[in-house]
Chains A and B, each alone.
Chain A
Amino acid sequence: MTEKIMEGSIAVAHAVARCSPDVVAAFPITPSTHIPQELSRIQPEYGFEFVPVEAEFSAISAVFGASAAGGRAFTATSSQGLLLMHEVLFAASGTRLPMVMVVANRAISAPLSIWNDWQDSISQRDAGWIQLYCKNSQETVDATIQAFKITEEARIPVMVCFDGFYLTHEISPIDVPEKKEIDAYAPKGKRDSLDVGDPKSFGCYATPAYYQDMKKEQDDALFASAGIIEKHAGKFAEKFGRPQFAFIEEYKNDKDAAIISMGSLAEEAELVADEGLAGVVRVKCFRPFPRDALKKALQGKKRVVILEKDVSFGFGGALATEVKSLLFEAGLAPEVTSIICGLGGKDVSVKNIKEALQEKGSAWM
């Protein structure tokens, strides 16, 4: 393991290149831009096909095509770019094509904002992708490498999310494993693909006699991907000597109260836990939603405070909605507070998180 001081996006780009993609397609959007820029810069060294397309819609479409042709394919985006991809996300997961996308989380227009929140990827919650939210750049690098293994085994696309600017532009010591180590961890396998020697049809039209059954299979596969996610996190930890959190991370979670959050915000909440005010349960894997792990982590809690940077307009926070649903399912009844915060880059300080512990019901801060 060799740590180097580097920017989060640059580290992610090098991790992707060392995963030996066949095709990388991207369109620039802040704050994800440094990833494709760096990939284009190092392309001559690695030799993958780099396609600077004319829109994010085409970036994800080219990734779809590359995957259908049997290639390992990658893209990165943020915000409006991810929203522009929305339609293709469903086609990709429905066609069961493996692919990896890194999302540098950013707010959604209007009003225009280039700053961080999770509204972009949370709005893709129901697109049938695996969604991983990372707390720092090292975890993003590690998750991206695992994502290629996960997607190729589960045949479900994987979205690796990390906070725009807070992580994409943060400079910190990061270990990006060498290519030969990644080759050994994530070798490419064979799968059905477009092949003139074996003509197959992909992307069919389904009548009502088949459509729902196919969707059920897809949903079953997304649930079943939990086992694959866990397996590859374990193998990664073993090979690279860094502990991995497949679904959730518990930090000093031995108090009556727990803060539940995701991404770098959960890491910040650890500072509050350090003062003994509450434990932290960080949701890393948002889809498939880690029901069992969370139920276990929330057993016996008197109070749960959910902090999140997204909103389902007209209802509340998406993470809080999921948590409340599973608490009900588990017959647990802690006092629940749902906090929507940090939208469009609004600062969330440690003081704010402490104040959140005093809130009742739901609140914006």
Chain B
Amino acid sequence: MTELFLKGHRACAGCGSVLALRYVLEALGKDVIVVNATGCMEIISSQYPESNWGVPYVHCLFENTASVATGVSRALKHLDKEGTVVVIGGDGASYDIGFGAVSGAMERNEDILYVCYDNEAYANTGLQRSGATPFGSATTTTPSEMGGKGEWKKNLTFIAAAHAVPYAAAASVAFLPDLQAKLKKAKQKKGFRLVNVHAPCTVGWKINPVKAVEVARKAVECGLWNLFEIDDGKFKLSRPVGEAPVAEYLKMQGRFKHLTPKQVETIEEHARSVKPELEKLEKANVNFQRFL
């Protein structure tokens, strides 16, 4: 592969997000400008005087990346400069602290391809709970002593769709051809595009570093992370919703080790309830862009 994310980065062994990033850049090619939020992918790649970025790159802060990208995109347009503006932000930057800016950029339909790497916690600061942390997961602020997180995760992809953006997709680092196809499709479009990539954090999820892809695949196979796209408002599953028992996924990860059988049952029921709803949504041929 043509590596645009160069060797020598400082990420943890087996990092799912770095794997995603390498394939994101490969799919998008050289004519992109990356705007990166503060977080793991930033801190491991931009330590002065080195940089792992083979494409133009700018980092500003944690919570304003969609707005910085807005400025980059508008300036490129006015200056007639080339390049697809690509945001790389984690779930902390995208689902939570930077969400206002993300929503604003979506509403204005800024010409930005926003790639969120969702590792389901504030990994860079030491694995605290985020709005993307799943129910039951232990984090350093929802410790196992508390029973893990008591709330379900947000669905950023549907939130994007509710803004009637031209393209919003959920992808996974375990399904690289699907991830790259979505990125390539998104790149051809104008306006705000979201590709939300599920990417295990081996440290935070407490998994064997060689198992990141396997764990990510299992999340999809048991229906806890579903691959779909909402293209010009039309919802389409990228593969059938998985039906494997969630216990297979949960037991692979230390962050769920403390779960009681009751909690596992709750997650199982939740996963099973998602499938018919997503199938109904697809069958109904609902147009998300008509909700506005």
Contacts and interface: CB of A to CB of B under 8 A. Distances in A.
Interface string B99-112: 01101100110000
A5 interface: no
Nearest to A57: B64
Nearest to B64: A61
B64 A88 contact: yes
Contacts of B57: 194, 199-203
Interface stretch (B69-77, B231-239, B251-259): B69-77
A23 interface: yes
A7 interface: no
Contacts of A210: 48-49
Contact of B75 (A47, A52, A70, A202): A70
A148 interface: no
Nearest to B33: A194
B61 A61 contact: yes
A197 B73 CA distance: 16
B82 A204 contact: no
A51 B74 contact: yes
Interface string A187-231: 000000011111111111111001000100000000000000000
A203 B64 CA distance: 13
Nearest to A87: B61
A217 B157 CA distance: 43
A199 B54 contact: yes
Q: How large is the interface on A (under 10, 10 to 19, 20 to 34, 35 or more residues)?
A: 35 or more
Contact of B68 (A48, A61, A199): A61
Contacts of B54: 199
Interface string A39-71: 000000001110111110111011111111111
Contacts of A47: 78
A253 interface: no
A49 B49 CA distance: 34
A68 B72 contact: yes
A196 B82 CA distance: 7
A197 B51 CA distance: 17
A207 B58 contact: no
B289 to A, nearest CB: 20
- The CB with the most chain A CB atoms within 10 A, among B42, B60, B73, B79, is that of B60
A196 B31 contact: yes
A64 B55 contact: no
B107 A54 contact: yes
Given A70-B75, A196-B31, A203-B58, A58 B51 contact: no
Interface in B39-98: 42-43, 46-49, 51, 53-61, 63-64, 66-79, 81-83
Interface in B130-147: none
A54 B71 CA distance: 13
Contact of B59 (A61, A70, A203): A203
Interface of B: 30-33, 35-36, 42-43, 46-49, 51, 53-61, 63-64, 66-79, 81-83, 100-101, 103-104, 107-108
Interface of A: 22-23, 25, 47-49, 51-55, 57-59, 61-71, 73, 87-88, 91, 95, 194-207, 210, 214
